[in-house]
Amino acid sequence: MAKLSQDELLEQFGEMTLIELSEFVKAFEEKFDVEAAAPVAVAAAAGGAAGGAAEAAEEQDEFDVVLTGAGDKKIQVIKVVRELTSLGLKEAKDVVDGVPKPVLEKVSKEQADKAAESLKAAGASVEVK
């Protein structure tokens, strides 16, 4: 079998459908006992616009904002938790007292980042998962 150059391989990947690429990656992982996370991204990029759509579909689109610590300004953190969640005072206090606790679940990246910034500004420790 003739050895193919990198350009020839990329040209072949560009002609494949997403399903064919997915099957190829699975076969490659099985044969060489590896995880092909980086090669998948390269192969998907070679596939043009369709590859870009597949890569975007694999990205996480739902995030959880988890309060990991209240810090020194506990009252300020409780106020921010109430603003973000529309919980009552007692429920918000329970969230802050029971860290680590999720404040928001399954929200967009933008919403999660804004919530994390607000909580950090109030003195809390936050994780976005």
Q: Tell me the per-residue pLDDT of 88-118, one tens digit each, with 9 for 90 and over.
A: 888 888 888 887 888 888 888 888 888 888 8
54 with 20: CB under 8 angstroms?
no
- Residue 53's nearest CA partner among 27, 88, 18, 8 is 18
pTM: 0.51
Q: Residue type at 10? A: L
pLDDT tens profile 18-74? 788 888 888 888 888 877 554 444 444 445 444 444 454 456 778 888 888 888 888
103 with 81: CB under 8 angstroms?
yes
Quickly count: other Cβ atoms within 10 Å of residue 104's Cβ. 20
